[in-house]
């Protein structure tokens, strides 16, 4: 069971979802949950943004696959449909957001993972998909998806996989994660362990601590994260 802020490997991420995650957008996987992978590293292929103190994620849709006819997908509009006519991942997420906007269905639940370095991922938590639109960016059309961090896990997901939200955490911006990772050298600040690491809020968000500054975030191993939590509660 993983918690928001946990550092995991690619393999652990796939094990958690029960599938081999090959692409960035995965609509409706096992147990009615969708998964998106994000990266805000400087050379990342898509421009994802974090707003409202880490409560809102604006996620960019994905390009078509590179083919002989489209050697540079970045020059072509992002597509609602696959060449076969079925909805693309953009289309599936877009339709779900539209249906939510029209009151036809509950917001889709989306688990968000973020790539920190090659092979190193961070789990950012469960979000709900609340809006989607298309816009012009560099002379082509791209999709944008608006996701909001869920404070309380809906029953339909809780049944599948209990996930404690003990501190109402906010998503830590990638730049802050990278700064902390470098500063703490990828180790628990208390014991130096490099296993089961977690981005810990030194002062919890619920007690006024910020997610936005590296000074309030540290790396702890699972053991020290749990012992710290026991002291706080
Ligand atoms: Zn430790």
Give distance in angstroms: CA of 188 to centre of ligand 1: 5
Surrounding ion ligand 1 within 5 Å at CB are: 188, 190-191, 193, 221, 224
Give distance in angstroms: CA of 191 to centre of ligand 1: 4
Q: What is the DSSP string of 127-150?
A: EEEEEEEEEEETTEEEEEEEEEE-
Give distance in angstroms: CA of 167 to centre of ligand 1: 19
Looking at residue 163, its pLDDT comes to: 53
Q: Which pTM was predicted?
A: 0.87
Are 19 and 28 in contact by the 8 Å Cβ rule? The answer is no
Question: Which residue, 9, 3, 2, 1, is CA-closest to 171?
Answer: 3
Looking at residue 8, its pLDDT comes to: 95
Looking at residue 152, its pLDDT comes to: 64
Give distance in angstroms: CA of 200 to centre of ligand 1: 12
Place of tokens 């700064």: 179
Look at the alpha carbons of 193, 194, 196, 202 in this order and tell me if their dihedral is positive or negative: positive
Give distance in angstroms: CA of 189 to centre of ligand 1: 7
Please give the chain's pLDDT, 233 residues, in tens. 788 899 999 999 999 898 899 889 999 998 789 999 997 766 777 878 888 778 899 999 999 988 888 899 999 999 999 999 999 999 999 999 999 999 999 999 999 999 998 889 999 999 999 999 999 998 999 999 999 998 766 555 555 555 555 455 678 888 899 999 999 999 999 999 999 999 999 998 878 888 889 999 999 999 999 888 767 65
Looking at residue 155, its pLDDT comes to: 59
Strands 120-137 and 108-117: antiparallel
Place of tokens 């002379």: 139
The per-residue pLDDT for range 6-49, each reduced to its tens digit, is 999 999 999 989 889 988 999 999 878 999 999 776 677 787 88
């Amino acid at each position: 069971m993983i918690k928001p802020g946990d550092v995991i490997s690619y393999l652990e991420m796939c094990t958690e979802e029960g599938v081999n995650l090959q692409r960035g957008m995965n609509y409706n996987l096992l147990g009615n949950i969708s998964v998106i992978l994000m990266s805000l590293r400087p050379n990342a292929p898509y421009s994802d943004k974090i707003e409202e103190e880490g409560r809102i994620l604006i996620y960019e849709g994905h390009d078509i696959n590179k083919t002989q006819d489209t050697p540079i997908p970045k020059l072509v509009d992002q597509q609602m449909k696959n060449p076969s006519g079925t909805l693309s991942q953009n289309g599936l997420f877009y339709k779900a957001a539209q249906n939510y906007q029209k009151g036809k269905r509950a917001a889709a639940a989306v688990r968000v993972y973020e790539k920190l370095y090659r092979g190193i991922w961070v789990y950012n938590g469960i979000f709900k998909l609340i809006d989607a639109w298309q816009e012009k960016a560099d002379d082509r059309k791209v999709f944008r998806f608006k996701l909001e961090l869920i404070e309380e896990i809906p029953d339909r997901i809780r049944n599948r996989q209990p996930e404690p939200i003990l501190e109402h955490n906010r998503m830590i911006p990638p730049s802050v994660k990278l700064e902390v990772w470098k500063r703490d050298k990828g180790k628990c600040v208390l014991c130096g362990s490099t296993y089961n690491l977690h981005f810990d809020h030194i002062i919890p968000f619920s007690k006024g601590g910020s997610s936005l500054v590296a000074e309030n975030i540290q790396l702890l191993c699972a053991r020290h994260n749990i012992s710290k939590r026991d002291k706080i509660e």
